[in-house]
Amino acid sequence: MLATEPGTSGKRPAPPNELVVIADKPRPKPKASRPTPIDPGFHYHRLRKTVHVICVIIFFLLPLTNLMRIDIPRQRCFFFGYELLISEFSIIFFSMMFLMFVVAGMAIMWGRVYCGYLCPQMIFSEASITLEGWLQRMVNKYVKADAPKRTLISRALFYLISGVAAVVLSFVFIAYFVEPRDLLHRLLSFDIKTAGGIAGAATTLLTLIDFLFVRLTFCTTVCPYGYLQGMLTDGHTLLVHYRDDSHECIECMKCMRVCHMGIDIRNSPYQIECVGCGECIEACNVVLARLGKPGLIHYVWGEQGERLGTGDKTWFQKIGLRDAKRVVLMLVLLFYAIGLFTALSMRHSVLVQISPVRATLYRLDKDGTVYNTFRLKAANRSHQQQTVVLGIEGLAGIHFSSFENAVVVSPGQTVDRDFEIAASPGTGLIAGVNHFSLSSRVGNDREAFDETFITPFKDSQ
Ligand code: SF4
Ligand code: SF4
């Protein structure tokens, strides 16, 4: 560049006659070699969407096929082929606790994998966001109208589809607590008087509000599970981590744009909003793979740990069993599952309970016969009619009085029946307490109940 001399007012000076400068022809710059793209690696987005579809199918199937359902009106619980009465609350309670422990165990080992891959709130919120964007694009593409009208049409369509989806999803959700055919009948008759109808209407409204306005804000403001992560995770928990020691980031912001939670993972791997979905990992891999470089965001075992799937660890360490705490946790869950399964499989098809009615200890007839009253409760938990046959064992001289000791119980029915056992005079029973057994037999299933037969005490004779 030529310097401007003072007093020339910025005009380009004429070159001196005696000096002619012949510039070299600029040489062509050597072409930068095109980077060779590499494989972007695992498709986390595809995996998530596949898992989401499977979860939605399971969400629909569990109540509609009676695989898992708490039938509140009929006071029973269906759990993978087992039909539990509400009176068997302990098994229902321990089954629920088991599911909670599984989710907590997953959080300790794999961070918020439940939130990112399995949570219905996340699945339906993402579906709502995707649907809204897709409708806007379709309307823009196919509807010939000005921009405000196109927005109006796409909003109207979105509200309409969301309304239908809210009704369907609420129906399935309430079907976890009310028998589906009964619920359908209530829905078709626009029942908003009974508890089931009111619950259905309220759930539909809440689901619609969730779809339209709340969505993933729920995860970061209301849901307590996200906050529980901080207490459950430790230095070996799987998390999503950005590491760029050689300053390779091209600031394309793709990782931020794909994040439904609206965060920049480059700031910290411990942001409470991060659900560990892995979308930013795939986004960065895809961008940098075009430049022939590996991505900068990875799943890692703790901030300083190695990446998922790398290292020379054993298979169980690679899946997250990286210390004694996790091994113990897995063993506890395993024993819990075995105990639960054993308890379920040892259940009798008919729950029989026999207890003495001690409002009066005994009844003495004029002819000297002594009567004791007992109460039978039989609940049929099977799908067939069952007959409960009672028997007396271990005490000669007593018999059922005016009671047919075979009680027929229909499927799902609970029978409560009082009956008397009598001892005629001169049967040789001791005065006071006589021990014996009452047995119940349902098919090949037999149970015995220790009971007492009380006769007048010596000092009352
Ligand atoms: S930061 Fe990445 S892993 Fe975390 S929620 Fe966003 S996209 Fe998912
Ligand atoms: S996607 Fe990768 S390269 Fe792009 S801004 Fe995020 S971390 Fe940087």
- CA gyration radius, the chain: 37
Identify whether the C-beta of residue 447 lies closer than 8 Å to the C-beta of residue 352: yes
Q: Rounded to the nearest 5°, which phi and psi values hold at 70?
A: -110, 110
How far apart CA 428 and CA 130 sit, in angstroms, is 84
What are 297's strand-pairing partners? 242
Of all protein residues, the one whose alpha carbon is nearest to atom 6 of ligand 1 is 259
Atom of ligand 2 nearest to the CA of 251: 5
Q: Which of 116, 97, 123, 95 is nearest to 229 (CA)?
A: 116
Longest dimension (CA), the chain: 155
Cα(219) to ligand 2 centroid in Å equals: 25
Cα(243) to ligand 1 centroid in Å equals: 15
Q: Residue 287: nearest ligand to its CA?
A: 2
Of all protein residues, the one whose alpha carbon is nearest to atom 2 of ligand 2 is 284
How far apart CA 406 and CA 352 sit, in angstroms, is 13
How far apart CA 359 and CA 434 sit, in angstroms, is 18
Tokens representing 133 are 């964007």
Atom of ligand 2 nearest to the CA of 283: 1
Q: In what order do the strands lie in the sheet with 406-409?
A: 406-409, 386-393, 433-442, 445-454
Tokens representing 370 are 């002594």
Question: What pLDDT, on a 0 to 100 scale, did the predictor assign at position 17?
Answer: 53
Q: Which of 343, 418, 415, 419 is nearest to 379 (CA)?
A: 415
Instruction: Kindly give, in sequence order, each residue whose CB lies less than 8 Å from that of residue 45, ignoring residues fewer than 6 positions away.
Output: 258, 279, 282
Question: What pLDDT, on a 0 to 100 scale, did the predictor assign at position 214?
Answer: 92
Sign, CA dihedral 257-259-264-265, equals negative
Tokens representing 28 are 């062509």
**b (16+ CB within 10 A) / e for 7-16:** eeeeeeeeee
**Cα 206 from chain centroid?**
19
Instruction: Kindly give, in sequence order, each residue whose CB lies less than 8 Å from that of residue 262, ignoring residues fewer than 6 positions away.
Output: 256, 273
Q: Which of 223, 6, 210, 3 is nearest to 114 (CA)?
A: 223
How far apart CA 432 and CA 451 sit, in angstroms, is 13
Q: Look up tokens 């849901």; give the residue.
A: 223
303 by DSSP, 3-state: which? coil
DSSP assigned state of 188: H
DSSP assigned state of 243: -
Atom of ligand 2 nearest to the CA of 253: 5
DSSP assigned state of 307: B
How far apart CA 50 and CA 55 sit, in angstroms, is 9
Burial grade of 450 (CB within 10 A; 0-12, 13-18, 19 or more) = exposed
Tokens representing 192 are 């908003």
Q: Residue 251: nearest ligand to its CA?
A: 2
Atom of ligand 2 nearest to the CA of 266: 7
Atom of ligand 1 nearest to the CA of 258: 7
- Strands 433-442 vs 445-454: parallel, antiparallel or unpaired: antiparallel
Cα(269) to ligand 1 centroid in Å equals: 9
Residues 49/50/56/58 CA torsion (nearest 10 deg):
-160
Question: What pLDDT, on a 0 to 100 scale, did the predictor assign at position 305?
Answer: 82
Question: What pLDDT, on a 0 to 100 scale, did the predictor assign at position 20?
Answer: 52
Of all protein residues, the one whose alpha carbon is nearest to atom 2 of ligand 1 is 280
Residue 205: other Cβ atoms inside 10 A: 12
Residue 438: other Cβ atoms inside 10 A: 25
Instruction: Kindly give, in sequence order, each residue whose CB lies less than 8 Å from that of residue 15, ignoring residues fewer than 6 positions away.
Output: 21
How far apart CA 398 and CA 53 sit, in angstroms, is 64
368 by DSSP, 3-state: which? coil
Of all protein residues, the one whose alpha carbon is nearest to atom 1 of ligand 2 is 284
Residues whose beta carbon lies within 6 Å of some atom of ligand 1: 240, 258-259, 261, 263, 265, 274-280
Query: pLDDT of the chain along its 461 residues, tens only?
Result: 333 444 444 444 555 555 555 555 666 666 667 888 888 889 999 999 999 999 999 999 999 998 999 888 877 888 887 878 777 778 888 888 998 899 899 999 999 889 999 999 999 999 999 999 999 999 999 999 999 999 999 999 999 999 999 999 999 999 998 888 888 888 888 877 777 778 888 999 999 999 999 999 888 888 888 778 768 888 899 999 999 999 999 999 999 999 999 999 999 998 988 999 999 999 999 999 999 999 999 999 988 888 888 877 888 888 888 889 999 999 999 999 999 999 888 888 888 999 999 888 999 999 999 999 999 999 887 778 999 999 999 999 899 987 778 899 998 788 999 999 999 988 888 888 999 999 999 988 899 999 999 999 876 55
Question: What pLDDT, on a 0 to 100 scale, did the predictor assign at position 292?
Answer: 94
Q: Which of 340, 260, 259, 246 is nearest to 296 (CA)?
A: 246
Cα(246) to ligand 2 centroid in Å equals: 13
Q: Residue 279: nearest ligand to its CA?
A: 1
Name the percent of the chain in helix, strand, coil, to the closest 5.
Answer: 40, 20, 40
Instruction: Kindly give, in sequence order, each residue whose CB lies less than 8 Å from that of residue 447, ignoring residues fewer than 6 positions away.
Output: 348, 352, 439, 440
Q: Look up tokens 């015995």; give the residue.
A: 448
Residue of 248, 251, 285 with the most ligand 2 atoms within 8 Å of its CB, for mutation = 251
Question: What pLDDT, on a 0 to 100 scale, did the predictor assign at position 460?
Answer: 59
DSSP one-letter string for 91-128? HHHHHHHHHHHHHHHHHHHHSTHIIIII-HHHHHHHHH
